[in-house]
Amino acid sequence: MQAQIEIDRVCHTYKPARGRPVLALDNVSLAIGDREFVSLLGPSGCGKSTLLYLIGGFLPVEQGAIRVEDKTVSGPGPDRGIVFQHFALFPWKTVRQNVLYGLEKQGLPRDSREQRAQQYIEMVGLAGFEDSYPSQLSGGMKQRAAIARTLAVDPRVLLMDEPFGALDAQTRSLMQAELLRLWQASRKTVVFVTHDVQEAVYLSERIAVMSARPGHIKEIVEVAFDKNDPELQRRPAFLEMVDHVWNLVRGEAIRAERGGAAA
């Protein structure tokens, strides 16, 4: 497998203004292939979001290296788009204006950016809501708008930090299916942070299970199910995989609790 993202012996320490430094990540190595969907899964406080922000260039790599397409990550870049848990939409902009924002920054001609914005608004199922403000949208619709805004600038890598964590169970299930459809259509490389085992098994091709803090990769779980099977999440093999991954995470969560790691 040709690695698009290479994480090579990365360590990261948080240094608060008060109190002792905290080692969040310890010697993390992981290779992620082009167009692969990989989830980072682990107990709270294991550093999975920290690792995602390091890939995105939002935090400095202190020890080790992260390379995207053989280029060392030294800051954010247009090749990596990120979707946050709490939408991060501009409340004073409409859906269309939010999606157009990144395209304007890229300097695209007006006709081109209007056409592309509409294309992605329709792709995520928000046609008819172009002139709506975030306050007028449901949680699921806000997240669709956030995903459209990120996809519109056409990043090679999509970084997602628990994007469905703030949604109710029904909306979350619908958005999982929608993300799977969008990924199959665009085949971007996706790095997806979640604490939901079933979500990880359903969406991923591989799951990197992380240890309790300081986080490292405990195990890589290969997931090879037919994503187009409408009954997938009821199949015995799927449920067995969920049980296997849950036991891996549960063991680390217990260890974190006994070790006093932050929740």
Q: Which residues, 6 or more positions from 53, have their beta carbon under 8 angstroms from its beta carbon?
A: 59, 161
Which of 154, 171, 187 delimits the end of a domain?
A: 154
178 & 254 share domain = yes
Within this chain, do residues 195 and 108 fall inside the same structural domain, yes or no? no
Q: Average pLDDT in the 96-118 region?
A: 93
**Is residue 16 reached through a cis peptide bond, with omega within 30 degrees of 0 on the bond before it?**
no
Over pLDDT 90: what percentage of the chain? 79
177 φ, ψ (degrees, to nearest 5): -65, -35
| Alpha-carbon 3 to chain mean position | 18
Among 103, 138, 154, which residue terminates a domain?
154
CA distance 149 to 137: 15
- Percentage with pLDDT > 70 across the chain: 97
Q: What is the mean pLDDT of the chain?
A: 92
Whether 90 and 27 map to the same domain: the answer is no
61-80 confidence digits (pLDDT tens): 999 999 999 999 999 999 99
Q: Are residues 70 and 190 in the same domain?
A: yes
The domain tally of the chain equals 2
pLDDT tier for residue 262 given thresholds of 50, 70 and 90: very low
User: Are 116 and 95 in a shared domain?
Assistant: yes
Do residue 145 and residue 178 come from a single domain? no
pLDDT digits (tens, 9 = 90+) for 138-168: 999 999 999 999 999 999 999 999 999 888 8
Q: Is the pLDDT score of 263 beyond 70?
A: no
Strand partners, 123: none
Nearest 5 degrees, angle CA 219-CA 186-CA 5?
Answer: 40
Same domain, 136 and 46: no
Indicate whether 204 and 223 sit together in one domain.
yes
In the prediction, which pLDDT does 131 show? 97
CA distances in angstroms from 178 to 48, 140, 151, 164, 205, listed in the order given: 23, 11, 14, 11, 16
Reported confidence tier of residue 171, pLDDT bands at 50, 70, 90:
confident
Q: Among residues 114, 134, 154, which one ends one of the domains?
A: 154
Three-state secondary structure call for residue 11: strand
Residue pair 6/54 in contact (Cβ under 8 Å)? The answer is no
- The CATH number assigned to the domain holding 190 equals 3.40.50.300
pTM of the model: 0.91
How far is 262 from 46, CA to CA, in rounded Å? 9
Q: What is the pLDDT of residue 186?
A: 85
Domain that holds residue 61: 3-79+155-259
Average pLDDT over residues 170-187: 90
**pLDDT recorded at residue 1:** 58
pLDDT-derived band at 19, boundaries 50, 70, 90? confident
Average pLDDT over residues 11-33: 93
Q: How far apart are CA 165 and CA 208, in angstroms?
A: 19
pLDDT at 96 over 90: yes
Instruction: Tell me: do 134 and 10 sit in the same domain.
Output: no
| 148 and 23 within one domain | no
**C-alpha Rg value of the chain to the nearest Å:** 19
Question: Nearest CA to 56 among 42, 40, 39, 74?
Answer: 74
- Answer yes or no: do 119 and 179 share one domain: no
